[in-house]
Each structure stands twice: as C-alpha cells, then as structure tokens.
Copies of this chain bind each other. A is one copy, B any other.
Amino acid sequence: LQSFESKYLEAKQFFEDFLEDYLSSSPVIDETLKKSIVYSLLNGGKRFRPVLSIFVAEALGIPPKKVLPFAAAVEMIHTYSLIHDDLPCMDNDDFRRGKPTNHKVFGEDVALLAGDALLTQAFSIVAQNYQHMVLVQLLSEAAGWKGMIGGQIHDMLSKKKQLSLDELMKINENKTGALIVLAVVGTLEIAGVSENLKVPFYSFAKHLGNAFQLKDDLQDSERAIEPGTIPSLVGIPKTKEMLVEATRQAKNFLNKIDIKNGPLVDMIEANFNRID
C-alpha cells in the first residue's frame, strides 16, 4: 500500500512536470519576464491546490490529467498574488520560502509585470484547454474583487482596527479559502458531476480552506503572534479548537458522499499535522 506521503509527492510531481512542459513549450516570451515567472512559479511550493484538484479528480473517477491545465491556472493565480503581495508597496517582504522574493531578484517593475502576466495567462490556459465558460467565471470570481482581491484589500485596510472573529473568518475565507474552494469546484465542473454532489464537495472545500488558514496561523504564531490574526484575537487554544472543528467538518462532508478514507481524507489529516 502506497503511503499518503508518496501519493502526495507523486501528484505534485505529475503537476510540476505539466507546468514545466507548458512553460518550456510556450512560444516567445521576453527572456527576463520568463525568468521572473519561472522563478516564482517553479519555486518548490507545497502545490496544495493542484494536488487537491488531482485527488478530487481521482475520487470522481476522471483521468487526473484532465484537470492539469485548470490546476495550473489556479496555481498561476496563487503565484501572482504572492508576487504582488511581497512588493514593497504591499507587505514589503524580502524573502519567501527562504529565497529572495521576485522583486528582490528581478526588480519591482519586472515583478509587477510577471504577476500581471501570470494572472492573464491563467485565463489563457483555461481558454486553450476547456470549452466550459463556467470555469472562467469561477476563476475570475474566486480571484477577483468578491474573492481573493476582496480579502486582500479588506485585510490591508483593516490592519489599523480591531476586527471581530466573524470579520477575520470572512477575510480568510476570501484571501485563502477562495482558491482552495476553486480547486475543488472547478474540478467538479470539469468532471461534470451532478448538483447533489456539488453541495457536499463545496462544504468540504470550504472547511478544508478554513482549516488550512487556521493551521497557517498557528504555525506562524509559534514564531510570533501577529496582530490582526485569529490567534491574536482569540488565543492559541481557541484557535486550535477551531482547527479541530474545521478538520472534523471537512471530513464530515466527505463522509456524506461516502468518502471515508483515501487521499482526500488523508489530506485533511495531513494539514492538521503538518509542520512547515
């Protein structure tokens, strides 16, 4: 029996091979822009969202390769958001995952355009590979002013005031949850599942996104409790309880569609236990 860890790494590699092929087969792009894009897109992230799409595809019985272009689109949007977030006018971060941030290596102007290009290319890869206009709709909503950007601006502007737990949860849902939910619901659309499967899968994704962000917050809080985060508002023990509950709920909704074990359940567990 294959361990979950090796299954995860296999899916991750499957996705990264696709991404590298896609980038190397893309026709003429300016060399500097391409280097900047490759630097951030192929930088050894967890690939949580694409692996999630692959595992959902497997659970639905469709060939995982069918979701790769869509998964690449989601990862491009995730990557662009990190590049723009790191810019001096935003979080002004010099390092990400132990390496200098994109603008530190390529300059702010190139980093800005690399982010813009990745966001644009996410839609291009979807248009090249699917006929489902609903995917463009899901992608733009999850990434846009009602989704990820909405969460970012709200987060940014609210740094100065004390938010309620509900407000913080809502920001996390938009900032982080939207793309995790997108990875799942986009795969459902590609697979063409019936409406009655969509609801529990959506709830699973929402709770998983929630658990993912809570775990991130808890990991970060081991270094320092950042103001404006859930641990700073309700304390670490209560945040841990919330993580336990989100984890339980995510599993609960998989249970409802008779998924009681396998990679999706393991993924929820792995998030709960991860140390990174």
Chain A positions within 8 Å of B, measured between CB atoms, are: 26-30, 32-34, 37, 80, 84, 87-90, 107-110, 112-113, 115-117, 119-121, 123-124, 126-128, 130-131, 133-134, 136-137, 139-141, 143-146, 149-150, 152-154, 156-157
Contact = CB atoms under 8 A, between A and B. Distances in A.
Given A33-B150, A127-B134, A136-B136, 13 more contacts: A27-B146, A30-B145, A30-B150, A30-B154, A33-B145, A116-B116, A119-B119, A120-B144, A123-B136, A123-B139, A124-B140, A127-B137, A133-B133
3 tightest A-B CB contacts, nearest first: A89-B108, A124-B140, A127-B136
Contacts of A140: 120-121, 123-124, 127
B124 A144 contact: yes
Nearest to A139: B123
A128 B126 CA distance: 16
Contacts of A128: 137
B124 A141 contact: yes
B136 A120 contact: no
A37 B149 CA distance: 13
A75 to B, nearest CB: 16
A121 B145 contact: yes
Contacts of A88: 89
A52 B98 CA distance: 49
A270 B221 CA distance: 62
A137 B113 contact: no
